[in-house]
């Protein structure tokens, strides 16, 4: 940050078109979401061999499967023969094609019945035999990289380039795994998921998550629970040690307390303080002593983002007959809806012809990260 005072010391945001231009969004798709490791779900979403998910990752249809060996693998949902989509609903013409996931846990193209194993290898193509002109091993599904951390799986839509650049998930995650090493993320399970369709660019959501200057005006209930969030405009928050709650409170619930036990392995601070991580490009984690709220951003276009909010708890708690996550879920749902409301206001306002760019106040310094993050991948924005 500049040491000057006055308006000139405020850092400019990205130019406003970065938040609504289809051209910028397309560049972000190619240079960010198709290059970085994109968090797309939890390992628990594919519980058994033969499990298959069809996911839309920034407009690319992706298959994620658990193979018969139990490994997770991902591929583009595209037949290597003529490019037909392999797995899809056929609702428009009221026709049912014979394709997709078979009872034998293979993936069959409905068009000419080329059939693939869940690891992506081509098993058979009718009336074509393995010969000099046709080597089955050269017709595996287009691969998608898949790596896991903390029970989450991440996809890389350009796995060849990632391997060439030695761009692994762990190089992308940086210090976060070490910082969160006592949270048993891999053991946790999703007890509740809420999906929100937010009419705002993904960067507005990220920037909002990354600063607490807005907490006082937007989140009165949250600031009642965590008074530090509104003190000095949310500046000087000690995210390294965690943020303390009001006296007597220790978790993000309506009452600030819970009947659930703390997650096993946490240290003394983690049992009473709140912490969070923003993992570019699309995973936000908010960690309390007894649960974790995980937000997966699914960009839907330049001005829409689907927010998948998962509430993770320890299986020991979920198994209890009295388990009820609503104390955490209801509190988060309130805070979330407050955030989405103001994010949509920003999306509306910055399209005004007079608003060429915005500013970051000094206490929003972390939010400026997204400008540096985007500039590094798209080139200088010259705001």
* Positions in the binding site for Fe ion (CB under 5 A): 339
**Residue number with CB closer to Fe ion (239 or 323):** 239
Q: How far apart are CA 63 and CA 86, in angstroms?
A: 9
Is the previous residue joined to 281 through a cis bond, with omega within 30 degrees of 0? yes
Number of Cα atoms under 13 Å in the Cβ half of residue 83: 0
At its nearest, how many Å lie between Fe ion and the CB of residue 219? 5
Q: What angle do CA 114, 116, 117 make, to 5 degrees?
A: 160
At its nearest, how many Å lie between Fe ion and the CB of residue 223? 10
Go through 342-356 and write b for each residue having 16 or more CB atoms within 10 A of its CB, e for each that does not: bbeebbeebeeeeee
At its nearest, how many Å lie between Fe ion and the CB of residue 211? 8
**Residue number with CB closer to Fe ion (36 or 339):** 339
**Residue number with CB closer to Fe ion (46 or 223):** 223
At its nearest, how many Å lie between Fe ion and the CB of residue 361? 15
Kindly give the pairing relationship between strand 122-124 and strand 115-117.
antiparallel
CB 262 within 8 A of CB 271: yes
Write out the two tokens for 182.
Answer: 């006592």
CB 234 within 8 A of CB 215: yes
**Residue number with CB closer to Fe ion (317 or 339):** 339
At its nearest, how many Å lie between Fe ion and the CB of residue 256? 18
Closest residue to bound Fe ion by CB: 339
At its nearest, how many Å lie between Fe ion and the CB of residue 204? 12
Go through 42-52 and write b for each residue having 16 or more CB atoms within 10 A of its CB, e for each that does not: beebbeeebbe
At its nearest, how many Å lie between Fe ion and the CB of residue 215? 6
**Residue number with CB closer to Fe ion (277 or 339):** 339
**Residue number with CB closer to Fe ion (217 or 264):** 217
**Residue number with CB closer to Fe ion (303 or 339):** 339
Q: 101 — phi, psi (to 5°)?
A: -70, 125
Q: How far is CA 192 from CA 41, 55, 140, 223, 308, in A?
A: 13, 19, 36, 24, 10
């Amino acid at each position: 940050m500049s040491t000057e005072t006055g308006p000139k010391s405020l850092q400019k945001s990205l130019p406003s078109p970065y938040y609504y231009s289809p051209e910028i969004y397309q560049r972000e798709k190619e240079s960010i979401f198709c290059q970085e490791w994109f968090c797309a779900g939890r390992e628990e979403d594919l519980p058994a061999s033969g499990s298959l998910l069809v996911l839309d990752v920034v407009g690319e249809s992706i298959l994620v499967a658990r193979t018969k060996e139990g490994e997770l693998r991902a591929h583009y949902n595209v037949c290597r023969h003529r490019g037909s989509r392999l797995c899809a609903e056929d609702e428009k013409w009221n026709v049912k094609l014979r394709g997709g996931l078979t009872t034998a846990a293979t993936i069959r193209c409905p068009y000419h019945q080329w059939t693939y194993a869940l690891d992506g290898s081509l098993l058979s193509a009718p009336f074509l035999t393995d010969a000099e002109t046709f080597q089955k091993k050269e017709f595996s599904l287009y691969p998608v990289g898949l790596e896991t951390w903390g029970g989450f799986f991440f996809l890389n839509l350009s796995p060849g380039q990632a391997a060439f650049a030695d761009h692994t998930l762990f190089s992308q995650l940086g210090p976060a795994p070490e910082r969160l090493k006592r949270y048993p993320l891999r053991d946790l399970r999703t007890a509740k998921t809420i999906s929100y369709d937010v009419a705002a660019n993904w960067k507005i959501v990220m920037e909002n998550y990354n600063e607490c200057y807005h907490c006082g005006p937007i989140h009165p209930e949250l600031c009642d629970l965590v008074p530090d969030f509104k003190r000095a405009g949310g500046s000087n928050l000690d995210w390294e040690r965690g943020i303390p709650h009001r006296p007597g409170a220790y978790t993000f619930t309506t009452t600030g307390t819970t009947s659930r036990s703390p997650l096993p392995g946490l240290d003394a601070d983690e049992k009473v303080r709140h912490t969070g991580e923003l993992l570019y490009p699309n995973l936000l984690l908010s960690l309390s002593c007894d649960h974790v709220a995980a937000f997966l951003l699914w960009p839907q276009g330049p001005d829409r983002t689907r927010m998948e909010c998962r509430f993770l708890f320890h299986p020991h708690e979920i198994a209890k007959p009295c388990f009820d996550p609503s104390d955490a879920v209801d509190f988060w749902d309130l805070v979330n809806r407050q955030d989405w409301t103001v994010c949509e206001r920003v999306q509306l306002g910055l399209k005004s012809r007079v608003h060429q760019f915005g500013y970051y106040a000094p206490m929003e310094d972390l939010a400026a990260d997204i400008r540096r993050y985007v500039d590094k991948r798209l080139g200088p924005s010259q705001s």
